[in-house]
């Protein structure tokens, strides 16, 4: 590991909470596809399987910001453990309900409960922010977390699908639940690095989404999520048309690998200019990288095009986290990060649906028009909202900069080593 990444873990407790966060994030890429695999194997009803997976995603999109808002007010330990118990209880209902053929409504209710799973990525990033706010190490930390995200999405689906098909149908979701329980309870047992809650400042203070800058980021990431969701579905269909459906997982893994590679390199760089310019450049690069997908003729070309397209993802995500830190008060940082993840999840659901519709109507090749259009929308939103990103939002109690850097303009706070 390059030295800037090694330096991140010089503070006691960082290795432990980062590892716990990795385990707790694995279900993000395992549970949805695991439910699809389980239901399709047990019932053969792909429509039901897709609807249940979408229910989990939409429930998480609704519940996630609310859980994170409570975390900002009351602390990670007090909120994450009860929320996780709700999700685990719902999973404990879903597995026997699917196995024994209980009514469909039971499955849907259980999937709504599973959606209460907390956003572990936001929780871990909040810990890094508490440690390294105002220092170059925070950029490196966010880059490292993007690498962890991509590793989860590379290996999570492979593990979940592999276990459910090779062992027993419920194995994938069951392991995902075990990862969630281990990650959350291990993370919340580490009190020394837990960010300080802000019950008084946040009480009655409204939602982080009131920030005009955050609104731009969330809207852009709805379009970005549409790119991701459409590419997943269309790539599977394209691989099937080419007669190599099983190769779809490898092709999509290269997409994530491109992002992972970019995250590692991006974390080693230091930038002097304003982050909003880098963010807009990243959004434009993602949109442009969708154009070659319209010209794909075979899986080899598709794999290369997706790897190149993946190179723009992580830098844009990392810069987004830096912008959230500027536009959302510290008292609402976890909620702000979760809102961006929520926008991404909503976009994935939209992209999956739109991609599927285009595939049915016009074929898999035409399906790549969906991410191309979504990329254009992301660029349009980014340019229209750019002025909002250039200045912190005025909020109750002062500007975000005052919340973040002290009582006087320009005063910098020493990094807090919890």
- When comparing pLDDT for 244 and 293, which is higher? 293
* pLDDT tens-digit series, residues 191-244: 888 888 877 554 445 777 777 878 888 899 899 988 988 887 788 778 878 887
Residue 369, pLDDT score = 92
Residue 393, pLDDT score = 47
Residue 83, pLDDT score = 92
Q: Ramachandran region of residue 408, left (φ > 0), alpha (ψ -120 to 50) or beta?
A: beta
Contact 213, 327 (CB under 8 A): yes
Locus of tokens 């920030």? 211
Q: Which long-range contacts (CB under 8 A, 24 or more apart) does 218-222 make?
A: 218/339, 218/340, 218/342, 218/343, 219/343, 219/381, 219/385, 220/283, 220/343, 220/378, 220/381, 220/382, 220/385, 221/320, 221/340, 221/343, 221/344, 221/347, 222/343, 222/344, 222/346, 222/347, 222/350
Q: How many CB atoms lie within 10 A of CB 361?
A: 9
Mean pLDDT score of the chain: 82
- When comparing pLDDT for 415 and 201, which is higher? 201
Residue 225, pLDDT score = 87
* pLDDT tens-digit series, residues 389-401: 776 544 433 334 4
Relative orientation angle of helices 171-188 and 120-132, to the nearest 10 degrees: 30
Contact 418, 126 (CB under 8 A): no
CB-neighbour burial class of residue 249 (10 A; exposed 0-12, middle 13-18, buried 19+): middle
Listed by start position, the domains of the chain span 12-197, 205-404
Does CATH place domain 205-404 in 1.20.20.10? no
Instruction: Determine phi and psi for 394, rounding to 5 degrees.
Output: -80, 125
The answer, yes or no, to whether residue 40 has pLDDT greater than 80, is no
Instruction: Determine phi and psi for 385, rounding to 5 degrees.
Output: -100, 5
DSSP structure string for 175-242:
HHHHHHHHHHHHHHT--TTSPPP-HHHHTT---GGG-HHHHHHHHHHHHHHHHHHHHHHHHHHHHHHT
- When comparing pLDDT for 348 and 184, which is higher? 184
Burial 9-34, CB ≥16 within 10 A → b, else e:
eebebbebbbebbbbbbbbbbbbbbb
Contact 227, 286 (CB under 8 A): yes
Provide the percentage of residues in the chain whose pLDDT is more than 90. Answer: 28
One fold for both 12-197 and 205-404? yes
Q: How many CB atoms lie within 10 A of CB 270?
A: 8
pLDDT category at 73 given cuts 50, 70, 90 is confident
pLDDT category at 414 given cuts 50, 70, 90 is very low
Taking CA atoms, 222 is separated from 28, 219, 229, 371, 407, in Å, by: 17, 5, 10, 12, 34
Residues in the chain: 418
Q: What is the arithmetic mean of pLDDT over 276-295?
A: 92
Provide the percentage of residues in the chain whose pLDDT is more than 70. Answer: 90
Burial 387-418, CB ≥16 within 10 A → b, else e:
ebbeebbebeeebbbbbbbeeeeeeeeeeeeb
Distance CA 352, CA 201 (A): 39
* pLDDT tens-digit series, residues 125-177: 889 988 888 888 888 888 888 888 878 877 887 788 778 878 888 998 999 99
Residue 200, pLDDT score = 56
DSSP structure string for 21-74:
HHHHHHHHHHHHHHHHHHHHHHH--HHHHHHHHHHHHHHHHHHHHHHHHHHHHH
The structural architecture, per CATH, of the domain 12-197 is Up-down Bundle (1.20)
The answer, yes or no, to whether residue 44 has pLDDT greater than 80, is no
Distance CA 16, CA 28 (A): 20
pLDDT category at 306 given cuts 50, 70, 90 is very high
* pLDDT tens-digit series, residues 347-387: 877 887 788 788 878 888 888 999 999 999 999 999 998 88
């Amino acid at each position: 590991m390059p030295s800037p990444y090694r330096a991140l873990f010089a503070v006691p407790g960082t290795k432990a909470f980062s590892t716990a966060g990795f385990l707790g994030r694995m279900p993000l890429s395992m549970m949805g596809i695991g439910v699809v695999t389980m239901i399709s194997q047990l019932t053969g009803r792909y429509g039901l399987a897709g609807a249940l997976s979408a229910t989990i995603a939409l429930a998480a999109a609704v519940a996630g910001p609310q859980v994170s808002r409570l975390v900002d007010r009351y602390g990670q330990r007090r909120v994450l453990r009860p929320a996780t118990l709700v999700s685990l209880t719902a999973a404990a209902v879903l597995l026997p309900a699917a196995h024994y053929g209980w009514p469909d409504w039971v499955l849907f209710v259980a999937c709504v409960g599973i959606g209460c799973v907390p956003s572990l990525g936001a929780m871990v990033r909040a810990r890094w922010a508490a440690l390294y706010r105002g220092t170059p190490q925070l950029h490196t930390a966010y880059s490292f977390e993007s690498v962890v995200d991509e590793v989860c999405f590379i290996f999570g689906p492979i593990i979940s699908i592999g276990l459910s098909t090779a062992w027993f149908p419920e194995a994938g979701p069951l392991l995902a639940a075990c990862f969630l329980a281990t990650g959350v309870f291990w993370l919340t047992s580490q009190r020394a690095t837990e960010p300080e809650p802000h019950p008084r400042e946040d009480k009655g203070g409204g939602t982080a989404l009131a920030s005009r800058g955050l609104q731009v980021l969330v809207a852009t990431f709805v379009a970005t999520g549409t790119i991701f969701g459409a590419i997943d579905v269309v790539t599977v269909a394209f691989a099937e048309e080419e007669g190599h459906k099983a190769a779809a997982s490898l092709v999509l893994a290269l997409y994530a690998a491109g992002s992972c590679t970019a995250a590692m390199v991006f974390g080693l760089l230091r930038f002097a200019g304003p982050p909003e310019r880098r963010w807009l450049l990243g959004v434009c690069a993602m949109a442009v990288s969708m154009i070659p997908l319209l010209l794909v003729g075979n899986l080899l070309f598709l794999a290369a095009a997706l790897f190149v397209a993946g190179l723009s993802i992580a830098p844009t995500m990392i810069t987004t986290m830096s912008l959230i830190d500027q536009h959302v008060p510290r008292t609402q940082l976890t909620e702000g990060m979760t809102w961006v993840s929520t926008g991404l999840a909503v976009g994935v659901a939209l992209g999956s649906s739109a991609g599927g519709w285009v595939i049915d109507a016009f074929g898999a090749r035409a399906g790549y028009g969906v991410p191309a259009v979504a990329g254009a929308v992301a660029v349009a939103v980014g340019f229209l909202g750019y002025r909002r990103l250039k200045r912190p939002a005025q909020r109750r109690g002062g500007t975000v900069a005052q919340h973040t850097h002290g009582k006087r303009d320009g005063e910098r706070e020493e990094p807090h080593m919890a």
